[in-house]
Amino acid sequence: MRITWFGHSAFRVETGNAVIIIDPFLTDNPTWNGSVDDATNGATHVVLTHGHSDHIGDTVDICRSTGAVLVANFEICMYLSGKGVENFSPANHGGRLHFDDFDVAFVQAWHSSSEIVDGKPLYLGNPAGVIISPKSGAGKVLYHMGDTDIFSDMGLINEIYKPAVGIVPIGNRFTMGAELAAMACKKYFDFETVIPCHYGTFPIIDATADKFVSEASGVNVVVPDRGVAIDV
């Protein structure tokens, strides 16, 4: 499995013949200076954890230009279908979607999910974390937590899905900060690799992953450079 971080919570995950783009906040991301077309070239799926604009990002344009399948909750799929996304596969917590190279499951996240339309929040379903389970030994189980606080049912998520790779929000204010994110990783999971996210994008969240790396001593934390692929 190859993973590329584009800043904030945006990732490219390659497993088998699938190219999965998660939460593609690119164009308006002040820490991403690359090409959206290059970053999403060959995309087969776009997976969204929730409906905030810093996670939906460039989804509509990516799905239109690549033909990628949108995988999100029902409300987001319906909302974005009205903006031109034609190929989508809705799901929700507890279900599992089966694709040729991987399965997707949505799990709990403590957060919110909406988009501002005409100055008012539009409800866009429950926020989620995402489990990516490659098929046929093509990679390790990946858990992108989305935006979330720590919660005890993380232990149940670990028991059910046994993720080896965790993408963990650490930026504080809107998600777990360094201390709680490190506690979640140590208390509830046996990750082989942890990749921090949702930091450094805006002044009101933590600027670096340094606090998290310090708090998560004993955990294999990999802090990738933006746009540089890593193999896990």
| pLDDT tens digits, 39-89 | 999 999 999 999 999 999 999 999 999 999 999 999 999 999 999 999 999
Q: What is the DSSP letter of 172?
A: S
pTM, full prediction? 0.98
- pLDDT at residue 139 in the model: 82
- Determine the structural domain holding residue 186 and report its residue range: 2-223
Both tokens of 208, joined, read 């670096």
Nearest C-alpha neighbor of 146 from the set 124, 190, 123, 176:
176
Beta-sheet strands, E only, within the chain: 2-5, 11-15, 18-22, 45-47, 69-73, 88-91, 96-98, 102-108, 114-117, 120-123, 128-134, 142-144, 165-169, 193-197, 229-231
Given CA atoms 195, 196, 200, 201 in this order, what sign does their dihedral have? positive
Q: What local confidence, expressed as pLDDT, does residue 20 receive?
A: 98
Residue among 225, 80, 205 nearest 88 (CA): 80
Residues 6+ apart with CB under 8 A from 154: 184, 187, 188, 189
In a domain, 228, yes or no: no
Question: How do residues 15-28 score in pLDDT, each as one tens digit?
Answer: 999 999 999 999 99
- CB of 51 closer than 8 Å to CB of 24: no
Q: Judge whether 21 lies within some domain.
A: yes
Q: Band of the pLDDT at 168, cuts 50, 70, 90?
A: very high
Number of domains in the chain: 1
- Residue 229 belongs to a domain: no
Whether 230 is in a domain gets the answer: no
Give the residue-averaged pLDDT of 211-230: 98
In a domain, 162, yes or no: yes
* Residues paired with residue 168 on neighbouring β-strands, in sequence order: 196
User: Mean pLDDT in the chain?
Assistant: 97
> Binning pLDDT at 50, 70 and 90, where does residue 98 land?
very high
Confidence of residue 136 (pLDDT cuts 50, 70, 90): confident
Residue 116 clears pLDDT 80, i.e. is over it: yes
Q: pLDDT-based confidence at 170, cuts 50/70/90?
A: very high
Contact (CB, 8 A) for 122 and 76: no
**Contact by Cβ (8 Å): 109, 99:** no
> How far apart (Å, rounded) are the C-alpha atoms in residues 66 and 61?
8
The pLDDT assigned to 165 comes to 98
Specify the CATH number for the domain of residue 156.
3.60.15.10
Q: Is residue 92 part of a domain?
A: yes
Position 175 scores a pLDDT of 98
State how far the Cα of 151 lies from the Cα of 180, in Å rounded to an integer: 10
CB atoms within 10 A of CB 227: 16
Residues 6+ apart with CB under 8 A from 203: none
* 131 falls within a domain: yes
